[in-house]
Amino acid sequence: MVLLLGVFLLALTLPKATVAFGDAHINITREVIMQKVTEVCREELDEDGLDFNPRDSSPEELVKACLGPKAKGEVSSAKFHKALREIYYPNKLIDRDFVNSAAHHFNSEAFLEGRGIITEGMGAIKANLRLGNLKAARETLGRILHTLQDFYSHSNWIELGNTEPYINLIRPYLPLENLADVNTPTCLDCASGTCSNPILPNILKEKKLTSGYFGLSSSLKPEGKCSHGGEVDKTSKTIPRGGINKDERRSDNAALFDAAVKAATEATSQLLEDIILTAGNEDFLRMMGVARASILSFVIDTTGSMSDEIEEARSVAYEIIDSKQGMQDEPSEYILVPFNDPEFGPLFRTTDPEKMKTEISKLTAKDGGDTPEMCLSGIQLALTGAPSSSEIYVFTDATAKDIALKDTIDALTSSTKSSVSFFLTGSEGRRRRRSLGVGSFNDYRDLALASGGQVIEVSKSELPKATDIILDTSTSALVTVLQRARQAGTEETLSFVIDESLNNITIYITGILSSFTLINPTGVIQTHNEANGKLGSFQTVGNLWRIRLDVDRQTGTWQINIKSNGPYTLTVRGQSTVTFIYDFVESFSGPHPGYAPLSGRPQAGQPATLMLLVTGRNGPSSVTVKDVDLVMVSGPESITSSKINNIGNGDILATVDAVPQGEFVITVKGTDKVSNTDFQRQSTTRMSISQVNIKAVVDKSVEPGKMVTLPFSVMTQEGGGLYTINARNDRDFPMTFPTSLTLTPGLYINATLTVTPPANTQSGTDATLTIEAKSSSGADSNYIILRLSVVTKITDFFPPQCKDVTVMADDCPEDVSLCGPYQWELSANLTDDNGTGIESLSLRQGNGNLSHTALTDPVVQAFYSASCCSQIVEFVALDKVGNAGRCHHSIARSGGPPALSLSLLLWLCLLVSLFSVKP
């Protein structure tokens, strides 16, 4: 509860003028997530007999304390921070995208509609979690938490004297009672606009629920109704004037604001508790990004010529699974996507290494022989199915038949910040036919460079040596120090900084290389002729040089001189918890201004802002950030510096006056305070600018078999004319959209896209939509990525019921220290009357044995037995749409020491009487 009230206490200590509910949305969400992660981690470690001892409540410490005791190795909090952002951003965007929607903010007495948003969102989250679509679940969670939290700020729930959350908002089977109708006046006139409580006395006495009306462009509201209030609400000037919102903490409403924050915090906790009951502890932690950072993701060509490659991919997967078991480097998720022609997929995803072994063992090379294949379709599935910032490895010996997807893949890698690397074992000369629209190996090189991946060209016999790179990069805290690409033969010396936190440092050079010379900060030199030198060891295979630095490497600035006869790439990577995450963002105005992440490319010729989080070994406070730069990755080194502003919680706003032309990456330089050594980190995904901008919003799920219409708008800053429009989705759902739009510079043109998930689409399916706009010359383009959840309409909102609980605990001694030899038992009847039926029954608390009769029975009988030393039991019954019912019982006796026997009491009385006799 201390953490749950953290934001409430924060509101009391911050300067009053700065406290606003718009800020509290993120603070509330952050604090409650930290609290729930703390609780769940402690439960998980307790079950394993391990201690959970975070030094503080920071994300870094929680992840270390949660994951560290279970496995050795570096524990990175980057995945947790990314997951949090995927919740925070959609929460904040409700204030931009739905500022006029009464339902999204519980304005204008839209209580039923607001609860409908929460109910639909919870259904989508539970369905997404069942299929492992964690990103979709996080985004929906952020949106509905904003709506839930707004209820306490925008309604009169607090003014009615309520101190607890309104549980009916997240229990759709309970009615919303005593709502003020549209004809009932609710407020007194407040000429000053800052009256402490303008609710009419009879509304307070009758406990009528109301909320303020809000209008950005209109002052109309029903007669006698409360307004939301504030400068931007035009209805607040219509009698009764003023407003009842508690969005800001002022002297006249301080107590109400504090109470609203407290109630919203507890309501957020209740909603997350529902998700935990449905998902279970392990999946809840995965949803929150508290999981090992490494992901193993393979996209494999299964045509007839690929038997050697499939065997090698299988061997590498087995080696990673077996050698990294019990380590932080052990992947937390496995993804496998096969492809050939004309088929690709399905995507296989699991957290179970044995299931991955089984699935990859099923792959066989068959058919084919007439290249090209459906390679990019397989990559698309992997990119949309894998977490952000994943490493994806593609095995193929053929070119791509579906080259029309190239721009989509480029957009997806940019959006997800994932890297795609290719192991190519064929030659373009193997292709027997060339048809229009077929790609070349150069297309793979383009995609790898754009994503920060590599193209490794080897013979089939050399492939086992090349796949060491997969073992290198399947790590828990992978960071990139430097990455550069050159398109022509040249000689160049490049510098990079190695800090004390970096381990397992490896340099990769792919391409046509004449020689290299490596120089450490003290001037020690190793050349390409020394496979085992003073600085490290290297091996070559195909077009890959892999240089592994010695463990006792020198910190400071290193140099590498490269002479090449053609294109090459240089990558320096290692393991470290000193890292950063970033998003390009744009500001928005309104009642609650803020920043929104850009889905596509930054705008050309405009100032740009990055939101970064730079974290060290002990959190953001253990690093000092000196420079955030945009660096051109091809051609002569060109650096655009930014102005940096630390805005708290480790977040940094970095602003550049204009984004550079061409492709660039982000570099961050600073000092690791733990070791007092300078560090350098770089993003891997290439970014570029565009004159085009696309806007579109998805905020709700769609039913299978139902067509949904998505409005979107396109604008170009200059160079209007005909622009090609293309839209794709990774599920191959039928779509319609205009194939072109004529744009006028500076003017948004509106259009619509329709998508229809087939009627047999599984509930919880997550579809990723990409909309692209490209100029007629092809010189300029941009994109937007949208996620659409397909969820079967839910009509069952009632959780299973726990009835007829019988407990037999008479044998348990009153003195708990004597509990060892004794057992107690519990039985209960579980029903889901008129519901979808009980699907699972699991033990959430208790060390005993739980069994049950068939789940298909109308009444499921549950039986639990445990030692009298384990005195609490809780088990959860889930129905088929994720409603959770629970049975909870404790045999612990309350109050005081164990009861004294009658004989002992008589002896005590006798002793007292003897010692009380006077001489």
Q: What is the pLDDT of residues 45-55, one digit of tens each?
A: 998 899 999 98
Residue with tokens 């000429």, as numbered in its chain: 191
Spatial separation of the C-alpha atoms in residues 230 and 223, rounded to whole Å: 19
pLDDT digits (tens, 9 = 90+) for 442-467: 999 999 999 999 999 999 999 999 99
Which range, of 37-46, 311-320, 649-658, 675-684, averages the lowest pLDDT? 649-658
Residue 435 in this model has a pLDDT that exceeds 70: no
Mean pLDDT of 851-878: 96
- pLDDT attached to residue 619: 86
Say if residue 346 is preceded by a cis peptide, omega within 30 of 0.
yes
Q: Characterise 474 by phi-psi region: left (phi > 0), alpha (psi -120 to 50), beta (else).
A: beta
- pLDDT attached to residue 660: 87
In this prediction the pTM is 0.91
Average pLDDT, rounded, for the chain? 90
Task: Give rounded-to-5 percent helix, strand, coil for the chain.
Answer: 30, 30, 40
Mean pLDDT of 512-538: 94
Q: What domains does the chain contain, in order, with CATH numbers? A: 21-176+249-288 (no CATH), 293-429+436-476 (3.40.50.410), 478-576 (2.60.120.380), 579-682 (2.60.40), 692-790 (2.60.40.10), 801-894 (2.60.40)
Which range, of 57-66, 633-642, 887-896, 901-910, averages the lowest pLDDT? 901-910
- Rg for the chain, CA atoms, rounded: 31
Higher-pLDDT residue of 432 and 288 is 288
Tokens of 598: 């850009």
**SS3 category, 430:** helix
Residue 638 in this model has a pLDDT that exceeds 90: no
Spatial separation of the C-alpha atoms in residues 170 and 268, rounded to whole Å: 10
**Confidence label for 897 from pLDDT (cuts 50, 70 and 90):** very low
Residue 836 Cα to chain centre, angstroms: 30
pLDDT digits (tens, 9 = 90+) for 706-755: 999 999 999 999 889 999 999 999 999 999 999 999 999 999 999 999 99
Residues 6+ apart with CB under 8 A from 549: 498, 505, 506, 507, 535, 536
**SS3 category, 19:** coil
- pLDDT attached to residue 917: 37
Spatial separation of the C-alpha atoms in residues 311 and 337, rounded to whole Å: 15
Residue 643 in this model has a pLDDT that exceeds 50: yes
Mean pLDDT of 24-52: 94
Q: Alpha helices, DSSP H only, in 280-428?
A: 281-287, 307-323, 353-361, 375-385, 406-416
- pLDDT attached to residue 650: 79
β partners of residue 769: 729, 786
Q: How far is CA 505 from CA 280, 482, 483, in A?
A: 38, 11, 13
**Confidence label for 639 from pLDDT (cuts 50, 70 and 90):** confident
Q: How far is CA 359 from CA 331, 364, 578, 751, in A?
A: 16, 11, 35, 43
Residue 657 in this model has a pLDDT that exceeds 80: yes
Tokens of 258: 């504090």
**Confidence label for 437 from pLDDT (cuts 50, 70 and 90):** low
Mean pLDDT of 702-709: 96
- pLDDT attached to residue 21: 66
The closest alpha carbon to 655, from 607, 720, 595, 708, belongs to: 607
Residue 13 in this model has a pLDDT that exceeds 60: no
- pLDDT attached to residue 707: 97
**Confidence label for 813 from pLDDT (cuts 50, 70 and 90):** very high
- pLDDT attached to residue 623: 93
Structural contact between residues 672 and 719, judged by C-beta atoms closer than 8 angstroms? no
- pLDDT attached to residue 488: 81
Structural contact between residues 360 and 331, judged by C-beta atoms closer than 8 angstroms? no
Mode of pairing for the β-strands spanning 419-424 and 455-457? parallel
Q: In what order do the strands lie in the sheet with 333-339?
A: 348-350, 333-339, 295-301, 391-396, 419-424, 455-457
Contacts 24+ apart (CB under 8 A), 616-620: 616/501, 616/577, 616/578, 616/672, 616/673, 616/674, 617/60, 617/501, 617/577, 617/578, 617/672, 617/674, 618/60, 618/674, 619/58, 619/59, 619/60, 619/61, 619/77, 619/650, 620/649, 620/650
Residue 786 in this model has a pLDDT that exceeds 70: yes
**Confidence label for 898 from pLDDT (cuts 50, 70 and 90):** very low
pLDDT digits (tens, 9 = 90+) for 192-217: 888 889 999 999 999 999 999 999 99
Residue 675 in this model has a pLDDT that exceeds 60: yes
Spatial separation of the C-alpha atoms in residues 348 and 311, rounded to whole Å: 18
Tokens of 290: 């508290």
Mode of pairing for the β-strands spanning 579-588 and 594-597? antiparallel
Structural contact between residues 620 and 649, judged by C-beta atoms closer than 8 angstroms? yes
Q: Cα angle vertex 498, ends 495, 499, to 5°?
A: 145
**SS3 category, 315:** helix
DSSP characters for 159-192?
TTT--S--GGGG-TTS---SBPPTTS--B---TT
